């Protein structure tokens, strides 16, 4: 929970892959299958608000839920001097190594919906973190 609140994630770094691909996120330490790598940081909004914002950037849609996590703002309102690693993770449909999964976290201020990226397999140092945007 402190990693989410402070947006301090261990073992991650931004890397510039050049003009063709842009920025991405790489692992600076090994991650094991099932490890939490980082979060999809944003604000949960209603289904109606999410549908209105479809063209406004990066939205995460839960399968059968009414909540959406909006990560279009960088930096976010709660972390004005930090950027989210999720915003820079690239897409890979055939061989992603992380997946988003929704959790209800019990923060001191009360329960809050969070989307965490979980390692799908062991991830080596220097490997780029990739997820399937279509999932």
> In the numeric block, which tokens belong to residue 112?
């809050």
Instruction: Give 14 or 42, the one with higher predicted confidence.
Output: 14
Confidence (pTM): 0.76
Q: Domains of the chain (ranges plus CATH)?
A: 2-42+83-131 (2.170.270.10)
Q: For the residues 82-103, what does the mean pLDDT come to?
A: 83
Q: How many CA atoms lie within 13 A of 105 on its CB side?
A: 16
Please tell me what DSSP assigns to residue 86. G
Are the C-beta atoms of 71 and 87 separated by less than 8 Å?
yes
pLDDT at 79 over 50: no
> Which of the residue ranges 14-18, 56-60, 87-91 has the most confident prediction, judged by mean pLDDT?
14-18
Note the Cα 121 to chain centre separation in Å.
Answer: 17
């Amino acid at each position: 929970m402190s990693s989410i609140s402070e947006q301090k994630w261990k073992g991650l770094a931004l890397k510039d892959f050049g003009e063709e691909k842009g920025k991405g996120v790489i692992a600076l330490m090994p991650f094991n299958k099932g490890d939490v790598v980082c979060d999809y940081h944003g604000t949960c909004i209603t289904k109606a608000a999410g549908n209105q914002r479809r063209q406004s950037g990066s939205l995460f849609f839960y399968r059968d839920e009414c909540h959406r996590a909006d990560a279009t703002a960088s930096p976010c309102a709660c972390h004005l001097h930090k950027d989210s690693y999720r915003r820079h993770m690239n897409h890979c449909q055939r061989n992603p190594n992380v997946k988003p999964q929704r959790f209800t976290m019990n923060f001191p201020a009360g329960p809050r919906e969070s989307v965490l990226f979980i390692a799908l397999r062991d991830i080596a140092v220097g490997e780029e973190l990739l997820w399937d945007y279509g999932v």
